[in-house]
């Protein structure tokens, strides 16, 4: 029975209910896959409001805006419109809102710009050019990653300069100027009134740690209840911020974390599994609740997941279980080549769609690296199967959209150098690179923004009047932004800047598409203006251009995916966390690919790869198919890999494999155990694909290939030439290809070695 006035508690099992009712002090909810963690989190917030906690006193942190929206919708179904007053959102979005109010304490304008990855790379590219460093040695992506890692570990440029270990590492990698680049990067961003994504966390920490005007006490008093979703994905910096918010007068505040150590897969982003494993040391009186019932997957999938993750030593003990039926056993596909793998996956999807009446959107293909998508795209196209690659080019990453947004950014913050560089000569004003380089040089020498150069420095250049006109134009945009809504301002800028006319002048299909995209952006701004939801902490609804730019700068592909299109999903396993599908195909399960070759030297990294595999298989509700290939092209070369060690860890009783998988006895360094055949089936008795060294392979002249010969092919193995026609096409039956499949090959390109 539910408590009086709390009927929603009837929707929870006993452990979930206890976690919801534990409202005071530190609480840790260990939530296995499909165990209803979102329900616990949302009902816990709803329950707090029901028992009298003001919604604006609750801070709920997530990792995607989509998750935050779903959370608010569920809370609203219980408590009504007051759900909108809960501070629910991502770390970056909520901290950026606080910084909009407090940034002046840190030397930033409150209407600071948020730099995306492209902006940051552009800043670094200019610094590397100014310092006359080799861009191949000082790779922009590597520099940005290094700086991001430093910020995530609370290492400022000054601290970096004092850390001999970091400096020594840079010298060993022939990048001794890294610290200087970091220092100049930070200065340039601050000069431009801009923060990158890492700054939204770092500056939030600075704000609380330095505590100007008792800011920390202000937000500790406001956020009396903290809740964190996917806590295993937090990094060192995020956890330090949470401590500053939750430890009040040296005693723990009311903080509830929800997560699963077995799904910690983002160490490459700085996430540390130690945060969840060591949480009880920072909060010794923590109450722990383990959600172990899986409501998503069938018995065979759950048992396989348990067996896999038990190979990891560092974990919080738990036993996931389900009362769902056994369901279909796991299928394993063995392919001789990556092309055959793609074909058989596409065939398998068609079979499942017909047999189980699956819609496309109920099916996903998951891979370890995005580069694997190509071969599956090709075969899905051949079968006329609709698909979507998750993580493709975002709408807001398109050139015409970034150009327009650069104008909008300048209207709000004229010091934004990256926006300035993007539009100073677009639409074309007849400015040359020499003029722009001169502006950059003067800005650096005087430590001012590029726009301030035009406003304050009397430039002796031919294009002087054009630059004066540009300054006047941006000034007009700024005045419009200060007095009008985001939509009216954007519409004005799209016309007065000349962008709309420039795009309309291109009447090609591509040009028309770009006009449609720009109109779609204006539609999005119109929708933003017409949205009448009041956010927590707001007395009036903010329809300003600055607020719109803040909103879109923190959007991701996950936020814009509404799931309405009936398409098969292709995505990396990392991107799949938090999602579920009736049928999942996990492909490329080979040593050096999954697990990645970069993880093989470290037991901790192998454990993370295993957690990644655990995440992959627990996305499946009813049907799980695993596949691997004996050979695939990698970096233009044919490579032969063993099946993934993770396939060895699957219980025989859970597998209904399509093809037998037999491994040879290890030589000592092999990651595998004793010889074993996977699956409760009889081996088909085919010969293993010969391990051919591509470098030693000797192809015979095409003119020598005759019917009846035994030949060897690098990808398909040994075969018999059935016939050779007048056009020099050979029909060959390959014994290593499924069902002795015959292939018709052009001898001119075949590269065959005659065996007999």
**Catalytic residue IDs:** 37-38, 229-230, 263, 619
Q: Which residues of 453-483 are buried (b: 16+ CB within 10 A; e: fewer)?
A: bbeeeeeeeebeeebeebeebbeebbebbee
For the CA atoms of 137, 138, 143, 144, the dihedral, rounded to the nearest 10 degrees, stands at: -110
State CA 102 to chain mean position distance: 29
Residue 56 to residues 19, 74, 339, 403, Cα–Cα distance (Å):
21, 17, 55, 37
Q: How many CA atoms lie within 13 A of 405 on its CB side?
A: 27
Residues facing 62 on adjacent strands: 90
What φ, ψ does residue 649 adopt, rounded to 5°?
-90, 0
Class of residue 281 by CB neighbours under 10 A (exposed 0-12, middle 13-18, buried 19+): exposed
Q: Which two tokens stand for residue 195?
A: 């923060």
What φ, ψ does residue 742 adopt, rounded to 5°?
-90, 140
What does the alpha-carbon distance between residue 172 and residue 201 come to, in Å, rounded to a whole number?
30
ω into 427 cis (within 30 of 0): yes
Of the chain, the end-to-end C-alpha distance in Å amounts to 80
- Strand 251-252, strand 247-248: pairing: antiparallel
Using alpha carbons only, give the angle 66, 149, 553 rounded to the nearest 5 degrees: 35
Residues facing 586 on adjacent strands: 366, 626
**Around Cβ 394, how many Cβ atoms within 10 Å?**
14
Supply the DSSP string of 341-390, one letter for each residue.
HHHHHHHHHHHHHHHH---GGGEEEEESSGGGHHHHHHHHHHTT--EEET
Residue 171: which residues within 8 A CB-CB, separation 6 or more? Answer: none
What φ, ψ does residue 403 adopt, rounded to 5°?
-65, -45
What φ, ψ does residue 292 adopt, rounded to 5°?
-110, -10
Q: Which two tokens stand for residue 495?
A: 């016309």
What does the alpha-carbon distance between residue 84 and residue 76 come to, in Å, rounded to a whole number?
8
3-state secondary structure of 625: strand
Residue identified by tokens 């982003």 is 269
- Strand 387-389, strand 331-335: pairing: unpaired
What does the alpha-carbon distance between residue 458 and residue 307 come to, in Å, rounded to a whole number?
72
387-389 β-sheet, strand order: 331-335, 620-629, 581-586, 363-367, 568-572, 387-389
State the helix-helix crossing angle for 91-102 and 197-210, rounded to 10 degrees. Answer: 60
State the helix-helix crossing angle for 197-210 and 140-152, rounded to 10 degrees. Answer: 30
What does the alpha-carbon distance between residue 728 and residue 61 come to, in Å, rounded to a whole number?
65
Residue of 332, 326, 305 lying closest to 655 (CA atoms): 332
Residue of 21, 37, 35, 29 lying closest to 289 (CA atoms): 29
Class of residue 725 by CB neighbours under 10 A (exposed 0-12, middle 13-18, buried 19+): exposed
3-state secondary structure of 473: helix
Sign for the CA dihedral angle at 208, 214, 217, 222 comes to negative
């Amino acid at each position: 029975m539910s408590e009086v006035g709390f009927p929603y508690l009837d929707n929870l099992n006993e452990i979930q209910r206890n976690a919801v009712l534990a409202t005071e002090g530190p609480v840790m909810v260990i939530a296995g896959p499909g165990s209803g963690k979102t329900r616990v989190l949302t009902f816990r917030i709803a329950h707090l409001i029901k028992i009298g906690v003001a919604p604006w006193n609750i801070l709920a942190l997530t990792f995607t805006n989509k998750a935050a929206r779903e959370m608010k919708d569920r809370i609203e179904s219980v408590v009504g419109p007051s759900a909108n007053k809960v501070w629910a959102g991502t770390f970056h979005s909520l901290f950026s809102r606080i910084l909009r109010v407090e940034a002046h304490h840190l030397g930033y304008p409150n209407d600071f710009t948020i730099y995306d990855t492209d902006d940051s790379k552009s800043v670094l590219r200019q610094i590397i050019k100014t310092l006359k460093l080799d861009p191949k040695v000082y790779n922009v992506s590597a520099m940005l990653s290094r700086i991001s890692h430093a910020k995530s570990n609370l290492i400022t440029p000054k601290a970096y300069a004092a850390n001999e270990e970091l400096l020594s590492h840079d010298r060993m990698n022939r990048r001794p100027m890294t610290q200087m680049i970091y220092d100049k990067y930070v200065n340039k961003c601050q000069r431009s009134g801009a923060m990158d994504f890492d700054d939204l966390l770092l500056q939030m920490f600075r704000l609380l740690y330095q505590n100007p005007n008792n800011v920390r006490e202000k937000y500790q008093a406001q956020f009396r209840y903290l809740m964190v979703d996917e806590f295993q994905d937090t990094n060192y910096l995020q956890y330090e911020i949470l401590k500053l918010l939750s430890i009040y007068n040296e005693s723990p505040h009311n903080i509830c974390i929800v997560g699963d150590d077995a799904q910690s897969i983002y160490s490459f982003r700085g996430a540390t599994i130690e945060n969840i494993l060591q949480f009880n040391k920072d909060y010794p009186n923590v109450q722990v609740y383990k959600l172990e019932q899986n409501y998503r997957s069938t018995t065979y999938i759950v048992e396989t997941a348990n067996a896999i993750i038990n190979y990891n030593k560092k974990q919080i003990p738990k036993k996931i279980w389900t009362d769902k039926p056994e369901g279909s056993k796991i299928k394993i596909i063995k392919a001789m080549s990556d092309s055959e793998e793609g074909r058989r996956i596409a065939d398998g999807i068609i079979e499942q769609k017909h047999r189980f009446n699956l819609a496309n959107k109920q099916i996903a293909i998951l891979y370890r690296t995005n580069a694997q998508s190509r071969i599956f795209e090709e075969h899905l196209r051949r079968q006329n199967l609709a698909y979507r690659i998750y993580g493709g080019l975002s709408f807001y990453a398109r050139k015409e959209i970034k150009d327009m947004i650069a104008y909008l950014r300048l209207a709000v913050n004229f010091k934004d150098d990256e926006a300035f560089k993007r539009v100073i000569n677009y639409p074309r004003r007849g400015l040359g690179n020499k003029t722009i380089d001169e502006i950059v040089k003067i800005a650096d020498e005087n430590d001012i923004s590029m726009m301030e150069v035009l406003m304050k420095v009397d430039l002796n250049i031919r294009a002087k009047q054009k630059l004066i006109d540009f300054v006047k134009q941006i000034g007009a945009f700024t005045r419009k932004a200060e007095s009008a809504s985001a939509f009216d301002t954007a519409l004005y800028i799209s016309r007065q800047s000349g962008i709309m006319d420039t795009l309309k002048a291109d009447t090609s299909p591509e040009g028309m598409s770009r006009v449609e995209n720009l109109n779609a952006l204006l539609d999005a701004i119109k929708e933003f203006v017409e949205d009448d939801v009041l956010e927590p902490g707001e007395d009036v609804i903010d329809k300003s251009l600055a607020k719109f730019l803040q909103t879109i700068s923190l959007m991701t592909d996950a936020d814009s995916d509404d799931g309405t299109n009936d398409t098969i999903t292709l995505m990396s396993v990392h991107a799949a966390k938090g999602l579920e599908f009736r049928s999942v195909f996990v492909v490329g399960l080979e040593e050096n690919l999954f697990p990645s070759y970069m993880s093989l030297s470290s037991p901790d990294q192998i454990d993370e790869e295993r957690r990644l595999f655990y995440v992959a298989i627990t996305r499946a509700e009813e049907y799980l198919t695993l596949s691997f290939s004996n050979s695939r092209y990698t970096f233009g070369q044919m490579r032969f890999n063993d099946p993934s060690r993770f396939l060895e860890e699957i219980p025989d009783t859970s597998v209904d494999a399509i093809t037998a998988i037999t491994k040879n006895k290890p030589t000592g360094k092999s990651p595998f155990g004793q010889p074993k055949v996977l699956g409760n089936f009889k081996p088909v008795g085919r010969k293993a694909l010969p391990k051919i060294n591509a470098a030693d392979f000797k192809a015979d002249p095409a003119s020598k290939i005759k019917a009846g010969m035994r030949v060897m092919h690098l990808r398909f193995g040994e075969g018999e030439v059935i016939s050779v026609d007048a056009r020099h096409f050979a029909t060959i039956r390959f014994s290593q290809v499924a069902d002795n499949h015959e292939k018709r090959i052009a001898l001119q390109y075949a590269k065959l070695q005659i065996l007999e």
